[in-house]
Amino acid sequence: MFTFNPADLTAEQLAIRTLGEARHRSPLSTAHVRRPSSLHWVDTEDRVLFDDSQMMAGARGATVSELPSLEPGGPRSHLFFNPAETNVAIVTCGGLCPGINDVIRGLVIALTEQYGVRSVLGFRNGFRGLVPPDCENPIPLSADGVRGIDRRGGSLLGTSRGAQDPGAIVDTLGTEEIDVLFVVGGDGSLRGASAIAAVARERGLDIAVVGVPKTIDNDIPFIDYSFGFQTAFSHAAEAIRAAHVEAESHHNGVGVVKLMGRHSGFIACYAALACHEADVVLIPEVPVGLEGPNGLLEYVHRRVDHQGHCVVVVAEGAGQDLLPRGQGTDASGNARLADVGALIRERLIASFAAYRRELNLRYVDPGYAIRSVPAAGYDAVYCTRLAHAAVHAALSGRTDMIVAGWHGRFVHLPIGLVTSGRNVVDPGGDLWLAVIETTGQPPVFRAAVNLNF
């Protein structure tokens, strides 16, 4: 799954690009002069170790100073940019996710209230808002203008999918005299951010490009988790609970809940663990067979026989091998998935009909409702702190990088590293084991195999 093998990571692969020497004293030093003990400068010599266990570190056969490590996030005493002369742009890309407005708010208030940045512009509707003709009316952002936006879902700036010409984007940044660009988006958006940073570098322009990783599926690797994920699985758990109430209240009731998760089943797994009402969880990482004594359909019959009802949770990317291919791609270049939820629903209806059994099936797909909600408490805090870390990094001259949590610390990661693969549920790991133990389902549903001799 990865271009970079985590076991073979080198210092070069973890290195963060900088635009140059940090010569400007941070205004935070004077802002906190009355309470100097409250300010935590990052020690530029300090590092956050990549490995989180003695066994992993020991297997490298290296001294502590030679172990792979990450640059810590946080405020620096000296900056590359003089905030009073710095112009900043913010763009949000890709699908909606709880917490985007919290990130925008955190960025704007930290830039203007803490650092005194001269100008902050929001470009509308993703990267398309950075190319003509859509780039003509960016939104001036102020602390007063973003207060309260965290209480609603969506994005104040709008969003879009699809790649745009990085050269044209850099042209716009040049025209607007932008020094720093913040990109809030998933892996495709982050690749676009890296391409923008590369063009700026080729042209000799000192433009810092810093990403705040956004993916509701939690599938960006080398980070603890992505913002909005906890809010998403909490709301998904409520959908499972509602399906369970419906199924339990009807004779031979079956609830089918389709959740987000194109390639990674984290939301389905965590939601099932959060409410304990799911009898079956299907994820993209584990194959599923429908027919035969060890298949899903017969298992649902057995659960209904045993307890009178059954709830099946399916991630949208599960069971794609059971469906016809050739759905094309979306604007981001992602393969369009066939509707596995509809397939499960139809096959259950057919299976119960074949046995001449009554079936009361309830189908729930809460995807867009979940994407549009405001961030819950923990995510709101995380978004704000990510935004602050991004501001500290950008003004210190870091570029072509993201901010993220790693082992409970905020760190800097190269975009090339985090877009080298995908974070997925390990079928042999403790998360999937916890799901199996909670639901009581078999590790794999196996279809019957017909052998003709």
CB–CB of 242/297 below 8 Å? Answer: no
Q: Has residue 35 been placed in a domain?
A: yes
Token pair for 299: 């298992």
Shared-domain flag, residues 177 and 204: yes
Q: Where are the alpha helices (DSSP H) in 26-112?
A: 28-31, 54-59, 100-109
Shared-domain flag, residues 157 and 200: yes
Shared-domain flag, residues 206 and 242: no
Shared-domain flag, residues 344 and 259: yes
Q: Has residue 448 been placed in a domain?
A: no
Token pair for 1: 């799954």
| Identified catalytic residue from 217, 219, 279, 400 | 217
Q: What are phi and psi of 355, to 5 degrees?
A: -90, 0
Q: Has residue 324 been placed in a domain?
A: yes
Q: Is the pLDDT confidence value at 3 over 80? A: no
Report d(CA 243, CA 205) in Å as an integer: 54
Q: Listing from the earlier edge strand, what are the strands of the sheet with 360-364?
A: 280-282, 309-315, 253-259, 360-364
Q: What is the pLDDT of residue 453?
A: 34
What is the mean predicted confidence (pLDDT) over 369-392? Answer: 96
CB neighbour list of residue 429: distance below 8 Å, 6 or more residues apart: none
Q: Has residue 447 been placed in a domain?
A: no
Q: Has residue 446 been placed in a domain?
A: no
Report d(CA 276, CA 438) in Å as an integer: 7
Q: Listing from the earlier edge strand, what are the strands of the sheet with 208-213?
A: 48-49, 69-72, 409-414, 401-406, 208-213, 180-185, 87-92, 119-122, 139-140
Q: What is the pLDDT of residue 45?
A: 85
- Cα 70 to its chain centre, rounded Å, is 20
Shared-domain flag, residues 367 and 386: no
Answer yes or no: 217 catalytic: yes
Token pair for 207: 């433009």
Shared-domain flag, residues 220 and 203: yes
User: What angle (nearest 5°) sits at the alpha carbon of residue 317, between those of residues 314 and 321?
Assistant: 105
Shared-domain flag, residues 83 and 179: yes
At 310, which CATH number?
A: 3.40.50.460
Q: Which string of DSSP letters, residue by residue, matches 311-356?
A: EEEEETTTTGGGS-----B-TTSPBPPP-HHHHHHHHHHHHHHHTT
Shared-domain flag, residues 261 and 192: no
pLDDT, one tens digit per residue, over 239-277 is 999 999 999 999 999 999 999 999 999 999 999 999 999
Q: Is the pLDDT confidence value at 7 over 80? A: no
CB–CB of 268/313 below 8 Å? Answer: yes
Q: What is the pLDDT of residue 38?
A: 53
Provide the pairing of β-strand 17-18 with 398-399. Answer: antiparallel
Q: What is the pLDDT of residue 40?
A: 79
Q: Residue 351 is part of which domain span?
A: 230-372+427-439
Q: Match 């133990």 to its residue by tokens.
A: 437
pLDDT, one tens digit per residue, over 99-146 is 999 999 999 999 999 999 999 999 999 999 999 987 778 999 999 999
What is the mean predicted confidence (pLDDT) over 208-233? Answer: 95
Token pair for 8: 């073979």
Report d(CA 179, CA 88) in Å as an integer: 6
Q: Has residue 450 been placed in a domain?
A: no
Bigger pLDDT: 9 vs 256: 256
What is the mean predicted confidence (pLDDT) over 368-396? Answer: 96
Q: Has residue 288 been placed in a domain?
A: yes
Shared-domain flag, residues 296 and 322: yes
pLDDT, one tens digit per residue, over 169-216 is 999 999 999 999 999 999 999 999 999 999 999 999 999 999 999 999
Bigger pLDDT: 97 vs 332: 97
Shared-domain flag, residues 284 and 298: yes
**Under DSSP, is residue 257 helix (H, G, I), strand (E, B) or coil?**
strand
Least confident of 266-270, 299-303, 447-451: 447-451
Q: Has residue 452 been placed in a domain?
A: no
Shared-domain flag, residues 40 and 144: yes
Q: Is 314 left (phi over 0), alpha (psi -120 to 50) or beta?
A: beta
At 379, which CATH number?
A: 3.40.50.450
Shared-domain flag, residues 322 and 334: yes
Domain count, the chain: 2
